[in-house]
Amino acid sequence: MRSAQRARHEANTLLELAHPNIVRCYGIAEKSCVLMEFLEAPTLRHFMADEADGRLKLSDALRTGIHLAAALDYIHARGFVHLDVKPRNIAIVHGRPVLFDFGIARSREDWHKPLLLGTDPYMAPEQCRRQPVSPATDVFALGVTLFEALTGEPPFPDGNKRREFPQLTVRPRRVREFRPAVPLALDDLIDRCLAFEAENRPSLVELIAGLHRHIRGGPPMWPPRFSPIEIASERDRNGSVKGAGKHNSKALPRQQPHSLRKPPNRQQIDLAR
């Protein structure tokens, strides 16, 4: 990486995490090299570009969103926020979404620091204003990613750090403007993810359950009689999920997006930045 400090930051963050939808880290070599698993797979951005109209099938978008929400919920439960969720930072490894690039992730003690970091069209209003961040900041970016996956277009395409961010003043576009077949309840859920005020965005558990309601075919995402709401309630009561720090199959979706299971192309994800 560009600096030893950035390498240590990313490695120290990733070494606290172990989840099937998060890239694995094995430590630091020399001063500025982070040892990570090799992902030979297209990013979600490239996968979408290969699809008709640059967007995913409804079921694939929903399942991808559920996996990413599960990964983010795990990250937040361990006191981190990612702050750069976007299609280019998600690899599709034989159908399994894997989140990488934790270069600007923050631990809980740094959530309040006034830093302008992120990728412009995916930044939540509080990021744009250099205000404290929270798990809701990642919900906003995931909402933007889901919007793109379903429509092929970003909801805020024109904002950047050199002029006013549109997400500060412009009402987000609706998914059904681009794809009328999307259920109204799903459109409303994604619109809530893009709410200006962080407290008006859904929790990740609510988002997982809401996305799951619209899956109409393919393999089940989790075992019979399982409820992500119940798992979240148990964690709230106990302070953590049983088995935290390990792969907890009871708390995770277990199926890949079905039609994303095609062989990866030869493009390789280079995680050394």
Residues 6+ apart with CB under 8 A from 20: 96, 247, 252
236 catalytic residue (yes or no): no
Integer Cα distance of 100 and 23 in angstroms: 5
Residue 262 tokens read as 């095609």
Output the CA–CA distances (angstroms, integers) from residue 22 to 14, 75, 230, in the order listed.
8, 9, 23
Report phi then psi at 223, rounded to 5: -65, 160
In angstroms, what CA-CA distances link 90 with 7, 64, 100? Answer: 19, 10, 6
C-beta separation of 59 from 259 below 8 A: yes
| CA distance linking residue 270 with residue 140, whole number of Å | 26
Quote the CA–CA distance of 126 and 95 in Å, as a whole number: 32
d(Cα 138, Cα 118) in Å, to the nearest integer? 11
Candidates 60, 73, 84, 120; catalytic one: 84
Q: Return the active site residues.
A: 84
